[in-house]
Amino acid sequence: MSEAYAPSDSDAHATADELDARDELAHRRKDFVLDGTVYLDGNSLGALPRSVPARLAEVVEREWGELRIRSWSESGWWSAPERIGDRIAPLVGAGAGQTVVGDSTSVNVFKAVVAALRIARGEDGGRDEVLVDAATFPTDGYIAESAARMTGATVRAVPAAEMADAAGPATAVALVNHVDYRTGELNDLPAATAAVHRAGGRIVWDVCHSAGALPVELDASGADFAVGCTYKYLNGGPGSPAFLYVRRELQPRFETPLPGWTSHADPFGMTPGYVPGDGASRGRVGTPDILSMLALEEALKVWDGVDIAAVRAKSLALTDFFLRRVQAYVPDGRLRPLTPLEHRRRGSQVSLLCTGDEGGGGAGPAPDAEVVMTALQARGVVGDFRRPGVLRFGFTPLYTSFADAERAAAALGEAVRTA
């Protein structure tokens, strides 16, 4: 834990207050619409940035209501996908001109996997294998299977930690989650990228659970493609558009499987033949979803002046503190951390497995995760759960406080005992 977050008081409430007083990001909390609830589900849906409602009203009333079609040029609607992509880029360690916003995570995974397959096969026609993180979020696996069927490739699922060793002469693409959505484990992006490249393959990273929570460093690691959502730690709102990163050197060879009119070199030429545009704009497909896209653009202003290294330091301090307080409040044997304790392997969430001891050890049967989470919500603490018995708590450093973590741990102890 950094010196800034080193506790000096054995009393939990006093320690939480002391840590909050030292927190260099504490002033960002006022930029969000929050109530008395302890909200620890930002890994599923981030809180509402306070300035977004007024901006949306302006878009609807002025840009749509008055300017109407003129807003594509006069209000900058047409350039929004690239402009907002460049705003996200520093948060994922990318230079300008490599990130485009639009469509959903699933659609962008499909674009990236198929494009990576085509590039890899262009370099070596014998490559026909797609490696997929065995613990991947389900949609990534579904999309990989579909992309493989369409291209005549095969899919092999391997644990993310073994991806480097699994890549070989048949590997065309590896699709890996940077942070495991279920356990919160952080996978080694630079090492896996380097290993897949040594094997001659290409790599696609799903950074949905890391963008806005920790340094991602896509450029520095040499990542080929990356896909991320914007409604979690980036606080873009429900269903806000995802983003696609295409490394600059690969852009001339990026052949999208969804050649829509807005990625055409001359989109208003309305010619029958498709000619791709330049740069990251090749990742565009159809008409941008302007309302949600401009809400996202406004939401991203909360990141102005924020150092992602400070975000990471606070995230680790918050999760450390929460884990210690859970150990203090929850009866022995009832919950077990699934999230790694080592900082280098931890994202910005804590996942706890409901356990029990029905053999007479005193802990009793394992509590039901859904029952525990319902009891927590009744106590004003919001997290979520994944079957069969995983409790998940997402820590968003821009608005989560140490007092929140203390209150959540205390409530969790009560909920487990009653469950």
Catalytic residue selected from 28, 118, 202, 392: 392
Catalytic residue check, 392: yes
Catalytic residue selected from 110, 137, 245, 385: 137
Catalytic residue selected from 231, 245, 329, 395: 231
Catalytic residue check, 231: yes
Catalytic residue check, 31: no
Encoded tokens for 294: 């401009």
Catalytic residue check, 32: no
Catalytic residue selected from 206, 224, 384, 404: 206
Catalytic residue selected from 87, 111, 118, 232: 232
Catalytic residue check, 206: yes
Q: Give the C-alpha separation, 400 to 396, whole Å.
A: 5
- Residues that are catalytic: 137, 206, 231-232, 392
